[in-house]
Chain A
Amino acid sequence: MSTIPRASSAIPGQPPSFGTALAHQPGLQSRFGALYSTFWMQGVVDHRTKEITRMRNARVTDCGF
């Protein structure tokens, strides 16, 4: 388990986070954003079900973030 932030923020003035670390790779960041936002905003699975599975996956993988 990480005890310190392992990747720095690529955005000055902002703390390390998933988004600011991913900003070290702008191409990856923008394409991930396009994919993940489409996943949430569109589709045949309702939002509630997606959120339940997201939360359950975080619990199973013990991801407190």
Chain B
Amino acid sequence: MDTPAACAQNPHMGWLPPADDGASFEALLRHRPELAALYKQFYGTFWDDALLPRALLELCRLRIAQVHGCDAELAIDDEQAALSPERRQALERWQDADCYAEDERAALVLAEKMPWQHHEITDGEFAHMRSLLGERGAVALMVALALFDANCRLKLVFGLNPAPATVPQPASAAGPLY
């Protein structure tokens, strides 16, 4: 595929130029400002309203990014999740590691399958996760996994380059979207 001239002039972007001076996911979404604001409110809910344990959320976000091979998503580090280097390092082979709690492992089973094997999530796997997180937690987790998956797909299709950053939270209604 030919590279559009506007993208060739901007080394940070892929198929679309940014809508403002930034070169971020948010800058790209601002081509549709009304949708960008609503998307931040929706996606930011996980952190703004603390719907799930912060580390569990971060592990799932990163694992889905690993499954997709999405370097732009992997470049973001949620500071308040406070993942130890060991836990972050072991994530690619989390099944063999002993540094994850039972609820984290139950969530990672589903995160692992969400991108390409969503039909292979079993009733038992879902029920086990729900027994640990509760009904409200289970609903929140599944929406989070779907959004992590969608974000990776968007970043990959848009050709966003990794911009390493340690952030207060990956998204919020009032703050940036990474």
Contact = CB atoms under 8 A, between A and B. Distances in A.
Interface of A: 1-4, 6-8, 10, 21-22, 24-25, 27-28, 31-32, 34-35, 38-39, 42-43, 61-62
A2 B119 CA distance: 8
A40 B58 CA distance: 31
A17 to B, nearest CB: 12
Interface string B121-132: 101001100100
A35 B38 contact: yes
Nearest to A44: B32
Given A38-B34, A39-B35, A24 B136 contact: yes
Nearest to B144: A28
Interface of B: 32, 34-35, 38-39, 41-42, 45, 49, 51, 118-119, 121, 123, 126-127, 130, 135-136, 138-140, 142-143
Contacts of B126: 2, 6
Contacts of A8: 135
Nearest to A2: B123
Contacts of B139: 7, 21-22, 24-25, 28
Closest 8 CB pairs of A and B: A31-B42, A35-B38, A24-B139, A6-B126, A24-B136, A31-B41, A35-B42, A1-B119
A17 B77 CA distance: 34
A28 B130 contact: no
A28 B54 CA distance: 17
Contacts of A24: 135-136, 139-140
Contacts of A39: 35
Contacts of B138: 6-7
B118 A61 contact: yes
B32 to A, nearest CB: 7
Contact of B123 (A6, A22, A27): A6
Given A1-B119, A6-B130, A28 B32 contact: no
A10 B136 CA distance: 9
